[in-house]
Chains A and B, each alone.
Chain A
């Protein structure tokens, strides 16, 4: 068993860290404050091959392994979790389902643009009455000659602000329940598509989240992904993989918060000494670091199993369950170490704390992760 990253993975880690430190860190607070979508940063990450990590080189992607993907998302998240989730959703939910389920024509048409970061992808499953119960979607699609006509109201869509392509899950046959759900590739310039309200959120402000509406939205019938009725299977497959990305994002949040807390504890003088000399702080830092390592190894393990081609639902769910819990706890403790300053927006740790909570919710709540894990054990 080898705990070392490969030379390529180490260089990727250094490169993304360097990019995040130099190109994202200086403006992250401003993007958060203005709730502005960092499209220029995503384009530059596209130039670096980070927006099509798993896309094969013949479609313009990097053809990288899943551990590399987790490394890149963590390094971005350490500096800005909003950028990290935009990258994660684009890769795992926007690109990978096309790689896995798309026809040759669909791959040729969509993947090069997505891989270069010149086009942004998003994933539209959630509806007002269909969250954890994704099979309850009410949106529909019906075939009309050579076109499908889609009617749906999708919400909480990550990357909605920049998306050029949406992967939308709607009912093609209500009688069949979840087996009647189908996935469609809908470009955001399709007639009948419109963006709805921009949500005001607790955290990840720069990951602008919106409603996406499809009203008699017409698309060519070739835009069906897989077969009619494959939608639920595709969505669950994508979310399994996406969870590795969210888990990596959570590890990044925790590591970023810990780094800030360690630096601050050495500088902050109280009672005539740096607070890092107090055992109360030392023990917190030791626990934070240990929890982060545990979470990171679960993420790498899930990525490793996926790289090997095995079933990874349980491993991905465990990684996300643990890492999101760690992100919330560690960022909360980081605020505690900063004391009153930690509560102020002028210091970065309150943002990590706000950003952490969502990792316990999106791409499957912690409760859903426990269902996935226990099902695998009790089947």
Chain B
């Protein structure tokens, strides 16, 4: 079974985010990067399918040179090889352009299933997986919390969480499945896996080698133009009302009415 997993390197969610001077992007100078946590579930799902049916897990990522580190992490978990699409022209690509680039890279590869994270924790759009399915002309199920793939019957069954319950869906494969966070428990890379990761093949691609026009990608080729970014307002320090309980309660009520205006 040929399993493709699309993944993205994102800023570590455990660190504080600062904005750059133009307030259109985040300041990347002091950021540490990790594999998008939702993509870890997709990688794990891919590895489990390989363990069941044999075959190969190929990771596909679009990102700058540093994204190689994320690919190596996936390879250390047990994926077999990687495709790294890296080109300065891709900077600023919106979700549709990203999906087009991934689709261009994937069209040359054999695949029975394409797995993605449901959403990337940096831009939080959740659009690339479904757009990719559309461009490849195959069905998709997004936000899968369970996944069974029947390689003989060529179908996949997944559960999605919907308002107030669950929805089970079946699609013929190849299909795109995007992973929700409870899909599985991603394994940690093993030490032998880490030591092997560097020697596993990673195919480097740029815009030209995908047969795409540089003007059709990146910020120039994107329909979505970012206007600005802002940090959430800083939480102000709380206020402690001193005094006897009765007096303090009266003061609290007065403040809620006169200043906060919620009463």
A interface vs B, CB < 8 Å?
A: 7-8, 11-12, 15, 18-19, 47-50, 53, 57, 62-64, 68, 72
Contacts and interface: CB of A to CB of B under 8 A. Distances in A.
A48 B190 contact: yes
A8 B194 contact: yes
Interface centre among B76, B188, B193, B197 (most CB of A within 10 A): B188
A49 B198 CA distance: 17
Contact of A15 (B69, B188, B192): B188
A18 B197 CA distance: 18
A12 B188 contact: no
18 contacts: A7-B72, A8-B195, A8-B197, A8-B198, A11-B73, A11-B194, A11-B197, A15-B188, A19-B188, A48-B190, A49-B190, A49-B191, A49-B192, A49-B193, A53-B191, A62-B192, A64-B191, A72-B191
B198 A50 contact: no
A11 B192 contact: no
Given A62-B195, A63-B195, A11 B188 contact: no
Nearest to A57: B192
B191 A62 contact: yes
B189 interface: yes
Contacts of A15: 76, 188-189, 194
A11 B190 CA distance: 10
Given A11-B189, A47-B190, A68-B191, 8 more contacts: A8-B197, A18-B188, A49-B191, A49-B192, A62-B190, A62-B192, A64-B195, A72-B191
Contacts of A11: 69, 72-73, 76, 189, 194, 197
Interface string B171-202: 00000000000000001111111110110000
Interface string B196-217: 0110000000000000000000
Nearest to B193: A49
A48 B72 contact: no
Contact of A48 (B73, B188, B195, B198): B188
A49 B191 CA distance: 5
A271 to B, nearest CB: 16
A7 B192 CA distance: 14
Contacts of B191: 12, 48-50, 53, 62, 64, 68, 72
A23 to B, nearest CB: 8
Nearest to A52: B191
B77 to A, nearest CB: 10
